[in-house]
Amino acid sequence: MPYDNVKLAHFLQSVRGGALAFASLRVWDEEVALDLLQEAMIGFVGAAKKHDEVAWKALFYKILGRRIVDWQRKQIWRNRIARMIPFSGLASDDDDPIDFAANTGNSDEPEQNHSADQLAKQFETVLASLPTRQQEAYLLRQWQGFNVKETAEIMKCSEGSVKTHLSRAMSVLTDQLGEWIDEE
């Protein structure tokens, strides 16, 4: 299996956009998501040499998923410590969360823009309320287009677990967002 830097560079370029969206929706901070993506790419470069090109996409998302989980664990620990310390001036009250809402400024209909923005914000809120494994299953299957087997490999669980996580996520999303969710 010859290692080809050009193929590797093309692969990383091809997954960058989708992987950044995946990470952003998992950590809800675009800068952190970009950092995690870069770390995953660096880790992937070393690991890719040992795998066939056909396995790269699943391997990359597995590495990215691990980076995200590691970051989330660190955040939980940091938040616990911050709660114990009576003074925490690290975050300002006027810090704005990143706006992931779709930019729908192309429409001449203000009602449509407002409706799309509301839907995007509502989707983000509902997605964020899901347990981590359900978020991961939904994003990998519905957004990234991985099949059940690939998703199971990335998530390190059985195919049945992937189906269960996705089914539960879809149930909540459908209940909360109704007809706007594509159940295919």
For residue 5, name the pLDDT band (cuts at 50, 70, 90). confident
137, 156 contact by CB (below 8 A): no
Residue 100: inside a domain, yes or no? Answer: no
Closest by Cα among 70, 45, 52, 72 to 128: 72
37, 23 contact by CB (below 8 A): yes
- Domain limits for position 74: 5-84
Same domain flag for 121 and 159: yes
Same domain flag for 70 and 119: no
Residue 140: inside a domain, yes or no? Answer: yes
Q: How far apart are CA 139 and CA 29, in angstroms?
A: 16
Q: How many CA atoms lie within 13 A of 109 on its CB side?
A: 5
pLDDT digits (tens, 9 = 90+) for 75-105: 876 665 555 444 334 444 444 433 433 343 4
pLDDT digits (tens, 9 = 90+) for 20-63: 999 998 998 888 999 999 999 999 998 998 998 899 999 999 99
pLDDT digits (tens, 9 = 90+) for 122-152: 888 888 899 999 999 998 888 787 888 989 9
CA-to-CA separations, 83 to 46, 71, 72, 74, 80, in angstroms, rounded: 38, 18, 16, 14, 5
* Count of domains for the chain: 2
Residue 91: inside a domain, yes or no? Answer: no
29, 50, 84 - which closes a domain: 84
CATH number, domain with residue 162: 1.10.10.10
Same domain flag for 39 and 75: yes
Assessment of whether the complete model's pTM goes beyond 0.75: no
Residue with tokens 């690991």: 47
